[in-house]
Amino acid sequence: MFLQRFKDSAFFVILQIVCLAYSLFVLIPVLWSFMSSFRSSIEFFTNPFGLPSVWKYQNFIYAWKQGNVGVYFRNSVFITTVCVTIIILLSAMASFAVSRLKFRGRITALFLFISGLFVPAALLILPLFLMLQDLHILGTYAGLIPVYVAYSFPFTVFVLVPFFNVIPQDLEEAAFLDGASYHQIFWKVMIPLAKPGLIVATIFNIFGIWNEFVLGYVLISKKSLKTLPLGLADILMKQHYTADYGKLFAAIVIALAPVAIIYIIFQRKLTGRLLEGAIKE
């Protein structure tokens, strides 16, 4: 009995050590990047792991101005705002249609959207490039925005439809009896009740668009139009020649700060039960 108890508590101590070790494995690279953003270029070689001897906040100013990160940041905010707004609005409308309206081809439409989950965008870079070239919108936001929006539909519809499905029929009928139109039902009944799903879908889309690299890399080449991931990749590739590491990491910190803030605010929603609705058999 005593031995068993000793074994149990020893097991839990070991388990805690393993969990802490894994947390360090996750956190140390992030913390190191943060400290590195304040390091001078020389210190990268003389003192790469300790605290910076002088906290060189000028790295941020340099990255923001000369490094063009300010422009990338504004572009990212713009693209993310526009794309996520369109994605959520149109996906909510489409999910409402395939979930609550009755028409022939409803299941086909749903199937079309869901099957998009299995279309890897990275395998379609050549036809997308050619198509935008034909339409004369290659290298512009008029080309990038519809592409980002289109590739976000499958996941967003997949997340939203179950939320629309579980809204009780009675509410809809009651609204009809009160003489509400379809538009009123959508805005006044459906949207408020599907809100938890809409929040999760919005957060995931913000992260998705903010971080998107492959499609932007293929479709955007002008420096003034690049988003943060594209700009960062540029700076990174240039580092092979200049080795201005402090500024590179300042740019990294600028790019991950908004994500970190949103994550900390919504962390409980994301790690809790809500995600379950998204991916669960």
Scan residues 186-245 and list those touching another protein (CB under 8 A). 186, 207, 210-214, 217-218, 228-229, 232-233, 236-237, 245
- Output the CA torsion sign for 16, 21, 22, 24: positive
Residue found by looking up tokens 């994301």 in the block: 270
Per-residue tokens: 239: 């580092």
Nearer to another protein, 66 or 239 (CB): 239
Query: With binding defined as CB under 8 A, does residue 38 bind another protein?
Result: no
CA distance 158 to 257: 29
Query: With binding defined as CB under 8 A, does residue 62 bind another protein?
Result: no
CA distance 76 to 78: 5
Query: With binding defined as CB under 8 A, does residue 271 bind another protein?
Result: yes
Nearer to another protein, 149 or 225 (CB): 149
Task: Give residues 100-159 in contact with another protein (rule: CB under 8 A).
Answer: 100-104, 107, 109-131, 134, 146-147, 149-151, 153-154, 157-158
Q: How far is the CB of 186 from another protein (least distance, A)?
A: 7
Q: How far is the CB of 31 from another protein (least distance, A)?
A: 11
Q: Give CB contacts under 8 A, 24+ apart, made by 117-122.
A: 117/154, 117/155, 117/158, 119/154, 121/151, 121/214, 121/215, 122/214
Residues 6+ apart with CB under 8 A from 44: 36, 243, 245, 246
Which one of the spans 54-62, 66-74, 174-182, 193-201 is the region binding another protein (CB under 8 A)? 174-182
Q: Are 156 and 87 in contact (CB under 8 A)?
A: yes
Of 69, 84, 98, 194, the residue at the interface with another protein (CB under 8 A) is 98
Of 177, 222, 224, 241, the residue at the interface with another protein (CB under 8 A) is 177
Residue from 101, 59, 63 nearest 190 by CA: 101
Which one of the spans 59-67, 77-85, 176-184, 191-199 is the region binding another protein (CB under 8 A)? 176-184
Query: With binding defined as CB under 8 A, does residue 34 bind another protein?
Result: no
Q: How far is the CB of 55 from another protein (least distance, A)?
A: 19
List helix spans (H) across the chain: 2-36, 43-46, 58-65, 69-100, 106-115, 125-134, 141-165, 169-177, 182-184, 191-193, 195-211, 214-219, 228-242, 245-271, 274-278
Residue 48: how many other CB atoms lie within 10 Å:
12
Nearer to another protein, 61 or 101 (CB): 101
Query: With binding defined as CB under 8 A, does residue 169 bind another protein?
Result: yes
Nearer to another protein, 1 or 26 (CB): 26
Nearer to another protein, 112 or 193 (CB): 112
